[in-house]
Amino acid sequence: MAGLQPRRRRDHRRCRDARLDLRLRRRARSGEGRRRRAGGGRPPGPVSDRPLVVWRDEHLAVVDKPAGLLVHPAPGNPGPSLVGELGDLLGGGEDPVRPGIVHRLDRDTSGLLVVARTAEAHKALSAMIADRQVTRQYSALVEGCPASRTGTIDAPLGRDHRAPERVVVGGRRPRPAITHFEVVERLAREALLRIRLETGRTHQIRAHLQAIGNPIVGDPQYGSGRRYGLDRQFLHSALLAFRHPFTGEALELRSGLPADLAAALESARRR
Per-residue pLDDT of the chain (271 residues; tens, 9 = 90+): 333 333 333 333 333 333 344 443 333 333 333 344 444 444 444 445 678 999 999 999 999 999 999 998 776 666 788 988 888 788 887 777 778 999 999 999 999 999 999 999 999 999 999 999 999 999 999 999 999 999 999 999 999 888 878 999 988 888 999 999 999 999 999 999 999 999 999 999 999 999 999 999 999 999 888 899 999 999 999 999 999 999 999 999 999 999 999 999 999 999 8
Backbone angles phi, psi at 171, to 5 degrees: -75, -165
Query: What is the rounded CA–CA span in Å between residue 5 and residue 257?
Result: 35
First to last CA, the chain: 40
What is the CB neighbour count within 10 angstroms for residue 45?
Answer: 25
Question: Which of 17, 95, 106, 231 is an active site residue?
Answer: 106
Known catalytic residue: 106?
Answer: yes
What is the CB neighbour count within 10 angstroms for residue 9?
Answer: 8
Backbone angles phi, psi at 59, to 5 degrees: -100, -40
Strands across the sheet with 167-169, in order? Answer: 167-169, 157-159, 172-175
What three-state secondary structure class fits 113? strand
Side chain identity at residue 24, one-letter code: L
- Measured CA to CA in angstroms, residue 191 lies from 83, 147, 184, 217 at distances of 34, 11, 7, 10
Q: What is the DSSP string of 20-62?
A: SEE---PPPPS-SS--EETTSS------SSS-EEEEE-SSEEE
From the DSSP assignment, how many helices (H) and strands (E) are in the chain?
4, 14
H or E element at residue 184: strand 178-186
Is the CATH number of domain 13-23+35-269 3.30.2350.10? yes
